[in-house]
Chain A
Amino acid sequence: MTAETAAKDKPTELVDRATIRFAGDSGDGIQLSGNQFTLTTASVGNDLATLPDFPAEIRAPAGTLPGVSSFQISFSGSEVLTPGDEPDVLVAMNPAALKANLGELPHGRIIVVNEDAFEPGNLKKAGFHENPLENDDLKAYRVVKVPMTTVTAEALVDTKLSKKDVERCKNFFALGVVYWMYSRPLEPTLEWIGEKFAKKPEYVEANSLALKAGYNYALTTEIFSAHFTVRKAKLKPGVYRNVTGTEATVLGLLAAAEVAKTPLFYGSYPITPASDILHELAKYKHYNVKTFQAEDEISAVGSAIGASYGGHIGVTGTSGPGLSLKAEFIGLAVMVELPLVIVDVQRAGPSTGMPTKTEQGDLLQAFFGRHGESPVAVLAAASSADCFRMAYEAVRLATKYMTPVILLSDGYLTNGAEPWRIPNESELPPIQISHLADPDTYKPYERDCLTFARRWVVPGTPGMEHRVGGLETEDITGNVSYDPINHDLMVRMRQAKIMRIAADIPPVKVRGEEQGDLLVLGWGSTYGAITTAVDQLRAAGHKVSSAHLRYLNPFPRNLGEVLAGFKTILVPEINLGQLRLLLRGKFDGNFIGYNRVEGRPFKVHEIEDKIKELLR
């Protein structure tokens, strides 16, 4: 069964871009369905972006609003930089999923519901007094009622699965329906089912049957008059794979370690949404990666510093609350000038906040969240795939400048996915690590005249025994020193070292004219929404440019010049204006914020509206 054969039976409608949201109980396998749809969509050559959204509770009470999990994917034959503002199709597996998502669904769009789940108990749990499928509540939408539970059970009647297991196959049935709607092939998912349940042939059979049943149901029943096709994207030639931000981060760290020919050590304490980095890296033992699940956030960073001291690439990963706990140790790494990479997968704060929701609230914490003058390099990935490059950069800069580097990612980037053009080995910048072994000339705090980095001498090197520590050290010798002039010198030296990095990073690029009335300047994960908004407005004839920061401390060396070219600079951030504060401290300019802190990424139209308001 392929999309091509099915397409003969009903007319197809070509659409430029489509956005689908799967929603259901957190136990309904929504994320699994979303991931399968993503892999299939990537494999047919669409560009795409995804937004998984799930509750912090592992299994919130079934059928309730807090238990709703969703997964949105947007795909197109053109460039896709965001998971889409609003869905074209909402797949709702129960009343709660419908209720939780209806507010974001524009009138006229399609709702596919599992009709069977709309029974009195579930309706009540979702807070419906009447069944919305039976009154006029949904008359503004195109509602497609499918008795998914019943049809799945009928399709699986000859399998030996229990009633409960049969019911759990309904997500594959729903996926089959949507595959037909968007002319997707079933093979990638059938293959995946075969591999995933290789040891349980009865599950392979049942899930495959459910998937095909959904597809055939959509094909043969009268509920859909047409289905959609989406052109292949014109992606740059190369080899591609699909990556989540987590996977890209892990691959970036590993690639850096391989290029540097230096083992990677990852110390981490479980924290949403950073734990997956630990889970993923733990699979790479055959790359000589050492992963350590520490007893707390503090030990996690401490162990990474210990590994760096021993000559490994020490990395720790966390989210905002964990970064707070690591602060004192990061200060130690600043003082002893050892390489250290800290990946902060930001989430909505303060405190426990909303652990599964995204935010850009840690920028100032990354810059200043330590006592004393404690500068570190700060980077931010712009997209899920960009996590590869920026994780690689974090290792390159940490080892070259002997400094902690904080890499800011966030919940949206880490869980979201997109196609990634795999770089050739030759495209990766070199990372050269050498551990000095010359006892005659060694002074622990003597510096490289270009980078200001001290030398990385590791224990085990004969004749170079020395002591380092958190007490202030004398320039050159590294002996403990309370000398006032020396302290002032060392404070400035540590700052100057970080500023030296500016010469080693790319200048910021302007998209559009390099001078004008309005520049939209973002950082981190807002890249997709800002770029799409600006591109769309430019295509419609508006005069607006954009620029995006992936290097924050230090800023790119041409940033001041770029900013000086614009009368107004709009700075959209998912915080209350943290970058804006930094820019105001450093540059002259008319900086205007666009700030929403709702635990979700920006929508393109929100930024468009703000730009239009400023251009009026």
Chain B
Amino acid sequence: MADLNQALQAPPEPTKKDFMSDQEVRWCPGCGDYSILAQMQKIMPELGIPREKIVFFSGIGCSSRFPYYMNTYGFHTIHGRAPAVATGLRCARPDLSVWVVTGDGDGLSIGGNHLMHALRRNMDITILLFNNRIYGLTKGQASPTSELGKITKSSPYGTIEHPIDPVSFALSSEATFVARTLANEPKHLAEILKRAAAHRGSSFVEILQNCNIFNDGAFVHFAGKDVRADRMLYLEHGKPMVFGANNDKGLTLDCPTLKKIEVKTNADRERLLVHDETLDDPGLAYSLSRLTYPDYPVSVGVFRYVIKPTYSGMLSEQINDAIARKGRGTLHDLLNSGKHWTIKADGSQARG
């Protein structure tokens, strides 16, 4: 009876612990990835998705160890190609919540092509790009987001290539949800992760994440706790683009570019841009993604959130339509398709 009573009780609400796997986490002490993992495990129970319905994919790199540490389904694939595998699963299984964890090397260098196409197809997957502006797992080479002139093991005289901005890339790849957040700002991170998970379509989140071994302090000049209020702009839908410890700075449009202004008077306030993440035209979001310190504040938050038909949704629709129109094909129909003829036992022949 006790067993029956137990069985009749509603299953206990899942907790953070339910999403922690039995594997020992093996990132370097002090790595930004710990914070991302902790926030992910924390928000998972809040999503209301059963654990078995969640799949994490990754490629190769430090970030790509992520799936081993999540007690969900997980698939550690090959370098740069996780979006391709995730795409196949998404087409096969519209019932699952599909995540891809990648990095600046994995996602933007070797896997740039797959990332672009997963985003522009509006695949219903959530892609998290941990950006530390360096190759960590291969021990310290320049990445596609390393700044021009960066001295690394592979560029002792400084890099001679221009970096790409992940959010700009995602916007120009037609992603329908695009955001940027920071590993060391847990609340903001958790909020963005939840919104990305809820979006139906291609969600892209750049997470600025410090590699304390090979590129320590990559973001400290604007994201350091003591300076971030003055050097970062927190985008919020419907709110004016204002920043600064005293809300005394802001952004306005000074065609054809954005302009940083001092906000002192009501007239200044009226000139401030108001953030609208639902704009179909990604132009303004693109401009915001490209602002860099010291000329401008670095923007974080949701750049774009628009609703468009998803690939998997349209795929299911086409299949359902075809079945409604032609009837579900059977093995018998298949084998008897095409123009055929019969040879009888006496060798005579008949059409059909």
Is A594 an interface position by the 8 A CB rule?
no
A285 contacts B87, C-beta separation under 8 Å: no
* Cα A90 to Cα B44 with chains together (Å): 71
Set of chain B residues within 8 Å of A286, measured between Cβ atoms: 319, 322-323, 325-329
When C-beta atoms are compared, the residue in chain B nearest to A263 turns out to be B92
| Other-chain contact of A290, B75, B81, B319, B332 (Cβ < 8 Å) | B319
When C-beta atoms are compared, the residue in chain B nearest to A285 turns out to be B322
Set of chain A residues within 8 Å of B21, measured between Cβ atoms: 467
What distance in Å separates the Cβ of A37 from its nearest Cβ neighbour in chain B? 15
A-B contact count (CB 8 A): 209
* Cα A425 to Cα B334 with chains together (Å): 10
Set of chain B residues within 8 Å of A292, measured between Cβ atoms: 87-88, 91
Q: Is chain A's binding surface mostly helix, strand, loop or mixed?
A: mixed
Is B335 an interface position by the 8 A CB rule?
yes
**Stretch from B218-226, B244-252, B338-346 at the A interface:** B338-346
* Cα A309 to Cα B74 with chains together (Å): 10
Is A235 an interface position by the 8 A CB rule?
yes
Over the window 298-333 of chain A, the binary record of Cβ atoms lying under 8 Å from chain B Cβ atoms (1 yes, 0 no) is 111011111111111010000000000000110010
A309 contacts B88, C-beta separation under 8 Å: yes
Using a CB-CB cutoff of 8 Å, which residues 209-246 of chain B contact chain A? none
A307 contacts B67, C-beta separation under 8 Å: no
Set of chain A residues within 8 Å of B340, measured between Cβ atoms: 239-241, 422
A460 contacts B318, C-beta separation under 8 Å: no
| Other-chain contact of A460, B93, B113, B351 (Cβ < 8 Å) | B93
| Other-chain contact of B339, A43, A267, A305, A423 (Cβ < 8 Å) | A43
A460 contacts B114, C-beta separation under 8 Å: no
Set of chain B residues within 8 Å of A236, measured between Cβ atoms: 343
| Other-chain contact of A469, B77, B327, B336 (Cβ < 8 Å) | B77
A241 contacts B88, C-beta separation under 8 Å: no
Is A585 an interface position by the 8 A CB rule?
no
When C-beta atoms are compared, the residue in chain B nearest to A241 turns out to be B340
B88 contacts A242, C-beta separation under 8 Å: no
What distance in Å separates the Cβ of A467 from its nearest Cβ neighbour in chain B? 4
Is B76 an interface position by the 8 A CB rule?
yes
A267-B88, A286-B328 given; A469·B334 CB < 8 A: no
Over the window 256-273 of chain A, the binary record of Cβ atoms lying under 8 Å from chain B Cβ atoms (1 yes, 0 no) is 001100010101000000
When C-beta atoms are compared, the residue in chain B nearest to A288 turns out to be B319
Using a CB-CB cutoff of 8 Å, which residues 22-66 of chain B contact chain A? 23, 50-53, 55, 57
Set of chain A residues within 8 Å of B51, measured between Cβ atoms: 462, 465
A303 contacts B84, C-beta separation under 8 Å: yes
A287 contacts B341, C-beta separation under 8 Å: no
B323 contacts A288, C-beta separation under 8 Å: yes
* Cα A251 to Cα B336 with chains together (Å): 11
Is B330 an interface position by the 8 A CB rule?
yes
Using a CB-CB cutoff of 8 Å, which residues 66-80 of chain B contact chain A? 67-68, 71-78
| Other-chain contact of A235, B52, B55, B343 (Cβ < 8 Å) | B343
Is A480 an interface position by the 8 A CB rule?
yes
* Cα A39 to Cα B341 with chains together (Å): 11
Using a CB-CB cutoff of 8 Å, which residues 280-296 of chain A contact chain B? 284-288, 290, 292, 294-296
When C-beta atoms are compared, the residue in chain A nearest to B68 turns out to be A467
B92 contacts A307, C-beta separation under 8 Å: yes
When C-beta atoms are compared, the residue in chain B nearest to A457 turns out to be B73
A240-B341, A286-B325, A459-B89 given; A470·B84 CB < 8 A: no
What distance in Å separates the Cβ of A458 from its nearest Cβ neighbour in chain B? 8
What distance in Å separates the Cβ of B336 from its nearest Cβ neighbour in chain A? 7
A287 contacts B328, C-beta separation under 8 Å: yes
Interface size class of A (residues with CB under 8 A): 35 or more
* Cα A589 to Cα B321 with chains together (Å): 59
Is A463 an interface position by the 8 A CB rule?
yes
Is A238 an interface position by the 8 A CB rule?
yes
When C-beta atoms are compared, the residue in chain B nearest to A232 turns out to be B349
* Cα A422 to Cα B332 with chains together (Å): 11
B331 contacts A298, C-beta separation under 8 Å: no
Set of chain B residues within 8 Å of A302, measured between Cβ atoms: 77, 81, 84-85, 87-88, 114
A239-B342, A255-B331, A459-B55 given; A303·B88 CB < 8 A: yes
When C-beta atoms are compared, the residue in chain A nearest to B80 turns out to be A298
A259 contacts B331, C-beta separation under 8 Å: yes
Is B315 an interface position by the 8 A CB rule?
yes
| Other-chain contact of A295, B68, B73, B114, B349 (Cβ < 8 Å) | B114
B343 contacts A470, C-beta separation under 8 Å: no
When C-beta atoms are compared, the residue in chain A nearest to B26 turns out to be A480
* Cα A237 to Cα B341 with chains together (Å): 10
What distance in Å separates the Cβ of B71 from its nearest Cβ neighbour in chain A? 6
When C-beta atoms are compared, the residue in chain B nearest to A192 turns out to be B339
Using a CB-CB cutoff of 8 Å, which residues 218-241 of chain A contact chain B? 232, 234-241
Is B272 an interface position by the 8 A CB rule?
no
A265-B92, A299-B84 given; A465·B72 CB < 8 A: yes
Is A45 an interface position by the 8 A CB rule?
yes
B86 contacts A306, C-beta separation under 8 Å: yes
Is B306 an interface position by the 8 A CB rule?
no
Is B194 an interface position by the 8 A CB rule?
no
A-B contact pairs, 28 of them (CB 8 A): A234-B347, A237-B345, A237-B347, A240-B341, A241-B337, A241-B338, A241-B340, A254-B334, A286-B328, A288-B323, A292-B88, A299-B117, A302-B77, A305-B85, A422-B340, A425-B332, A458-B93, A460-B53, A465-B51, A465-B74, A467-B68, A467-B75, A468-B76, A469-B67, A469-B68, A469-B77, A470-B76, A470-B77
Closest A-B pairs by Cβ, 3 of them = A306-B88, A469-B76, A302-B84
Given contacts A308-B88, A425-B331, A425-B335, 9 further A-B contacts (CB under 8 A): A241-B337, A255-B331, A298-B84, A299-B81, A309-B89, A422-B336, A460-B53, A467-B23, A467-B74
